[in-house]
Chains A and B, each alone.
Chain A
Amino acid sequence: MSEILVVIELREGRISRISLEAVAAARALLKLVAASVDGVAKTVSAIVTEQIGGPLGEQLGSIGVDKVFVLSHPLLNHYTADGYKLALEQLIQAEQPAYVLFPHTYQVRDYAPALAARFGQVLIGDVVAIGEGPVFTRQLMQGRLSGNYRHSGSGPCFVSVQAGAFRAEAPREGTTTILSFEPEIAAEAIRTRPSAPFRGSSQTVDLGSAQLIVSIGRGIKDAENIPIVQELATALGAELAASRPICDAGWLPMDRQVGSSGQTVSPKLYLAIGISGAIQHLVGIKGSQCIVAINKDPDAPIFEAADYGIVGDLFEVVPALTAAVKAAKS
């Protein structure tokens, strides 16, 4: 019970950024629990599921973990919930950690709740902060409120951390022991057959490199109202984008969607119009240099992330803004 395990995901052979953030969260948690309860957790160990070597081996040596467990089994070469549940269940049984941390990715969301249930535990998912206690903070009501959660009981505590909530630390010197762990997985235990990932229909709009983006959300109310905002985008010379519900409704094509399931953007200006700011949207715009929000609801979470805000009816503000932009440019 003296260990914090962190599950690491790889991307193109490197440790993904959010996994490094999960390691940083584990170190922050270690400081909190080591100070309050003697001997609850002393070390941070990482788990990866792929054979390591070359640059990955070096990278794992520099992220500040004491041990790295490499889960090796041919049935883990492709992700399946069944395979990951079995492998991690066995490692957790063997290690008896105090905490298991995950990056909050689509993959983790697919298996970690069931893995925790196998231990009679509940994943505290999508955590944005860890405080004294430890208390784990996550968003409620689409980001309009925050909830502080505590874990009780004797089993390991399972936690996943939101992208961007913890700052990945710079590589450090240190010694890391790399251990191989070979779980027992029977072929018939894997019940699902996933295909290789494929891209959605023609990704023609590259919002990732756009410098100016005007983006619309549910506040636009109807597809018929989109030209009002299009006119502003044209006046600014900006790309038009949208939050998920607009693309779900078919009002704009899917390739104009910004957020965790769409594109990640980092423009000089992100102008969010009638977007409330659910976390799935905010993670996609975090890299923006300046965020401006126009929304009728002063409590909309988009205002937490915005540099400038206008509280008002977009059907009045946007035409006024278009006129002002045109006047400034002429």
Chain B
Amino acid sequence: MNQSLFIMKIIVAIKQVPDRDAQIRIDSAAKWIEESNLQYALNESDAYALEEALQLKERHGGEVIVVSAGPERIGQTIREALAKGADRAIQIDCDDLADRDALGVARLLSAAIRPENPDLILTGLQSEDLGLGQTGVIVAELLGLPHATLILHVEKTETGLTVKRELEEGWFQTIDLPTPAVLTIQSGGNKLRYATLMGIKRAKTKEVRRVTGAELFPPSQSAVPVVTLVQVTLPQKQKSTQILSGSAKEAAAALVEKLKFEVRVL
């Protein structure tokens, strides 16, 4: 196929997560976090997935569609993705995202993605809030598509894709796979772009199709979660940390004492 004529339809599944500098508090029922007055942001590895999609579109042409599930507030994050260059969006209205397990969320996303028949589905390797790292892999399973995880680079070939996968401890491998396919993107593979003023302006006119979770997956069909988060707690301390207090100078002096006489490295 002529590369220049090849049009790639890419879906990027993104998640809005609490900003990493936000003050996190456990809610009164100890089931989740207190969501009021929380700052939210685009999940970091999802930002890299979006970047990879935009760069593929710039090289090969095509369309980038973002899909996201969550309450009303995710509209903000979707607009940011559109401002960076995504063409349109599917917003899945769903107020009970935290009550669904990974399979439940993947079912919602798959139901929204399936009718689009994309060539490629990208998502970040894991979310910064729950950190499950499963959504992309389960979406691939539900859609019957091949997948690869922890991907740093995507190259279009005549028959499909060649991707660079990160392994542990500084090792990598390449994987060839046919399209359509699902890839979960590791952070760091590209430099993230900022939205331009023009991009922000244009985002306002781009299509955001709203669909409810219930429309995608009627309550009668939705399976009961098999895995439930029953309690959220503060982590147990692994060690008894000795906090060195006082001014910067006092704390530094106290630490030097420890390094000299306890740790013995000075």
**How many of A's residues come within 8 Å of B, CB to CB?**
98
* Given contact pairs A146-B236, A193-B177, A194-B175, A310 touches B255 in the complex (Cβ within 8 A): yes
Chain A residues whose CB sits within 8 angstroms of the CB of B204 once the complex forms: none
Within the complex, the shortest CB–CB distance from B266 to chain A, in Å, comes to: 5
Contact B228–A203 (Cβ < 8 Å): no
Partner of B241, one of A123, A212, A255, A307: A307
Chain A residues whose CB sits within 8 angstroms of the CB of B173 once the complex forms: 194-198
State A131–B99 Cα separation when bound (angstroms).
22
Chain A residues whose CB sits within 8 angstroms of the CB of B263 once the complex forms: 268-269, 289-290
Q: Does A325 contact B (CB under 8 A)?
A: yes
User: CB-nearest residue of chain B relative to A123?
Assistant: B134
State A144–B167 Cα separation when bound (angstroms).
26
Which chain B residues numbered 214 to 258 have a C-beta less than 8 Å away from chain A? 223-239, 241-245, 248-249, 251-253, 255-256, 258
Q: Does B96 contact A (CB under 8 A)?
A: no
Decide if the interface of chain A is mainly helix, strand, loop or mixed: mixed
State A328–B128 Cα separation when bound (angstroms).
41
Contact B228–A324 (Cβ < 8 Å): no
Within the complex, the shortest CB–CB distance from B133 to chain A, in Å, comes to: 6
Q: Does B172 contact A (CB under 8 A)?
A: yes
User: CB-nearest residue of chain A relative to B132?
Assistant: A125
User: CB-nearest residue of chain B relative to A193?
Assistant: B176
Contact B168–A261 (Cβ < 8 Å): yes
Contact A106–B228 (Cβ < 8 Å): no
Contact A153–B226 (Cβ < 8 Å): yes
Within the complex, the shortest CB–CB distance from B52 to chain A, in Å, comes to: 14
Which chain A residues numbered 262 to 299 have a C-beta less than 8 Å away from chain B? 262-264, 268-269, 276, 279, 289-293, 299
Binds B, one of A42-50, A61-69, A111-119, A170-178: A111-119
Partner of B178, one of A141, A191, A305: A191
Partner of A244, one of B148, B187, B259: B187
Q: Does A124 contact B (CB under 8 A)?
A: yes
State A143–B237 Cα separation when bound (angstroms).
11
Contact A321–B170 (Cβ < 8 Å): no
Chain B residues near A (Cβ < 8 Å): 18, 20, 24, 26, 33, 101-103, 106, 128-134, 137-138, 140-142, 146-150, 165-178, 186-188, 191, 223-239, 241-245, 248-249, 251-253, 255-256, 258-260, 262-266
User: Can you list 19 A-B contacts (CB < 8 A)?
Assistant: A109-B134, A110-B149, A113-B102, A117-B141, A120-B223, A139-B235, A145-B235, A151-B227, A194-B174, A195-B173, A197-B172, A247-B188, A248-B188, A255-B170, A261-B166, A261-B170, A303-B241, A309-B243, A320-B249
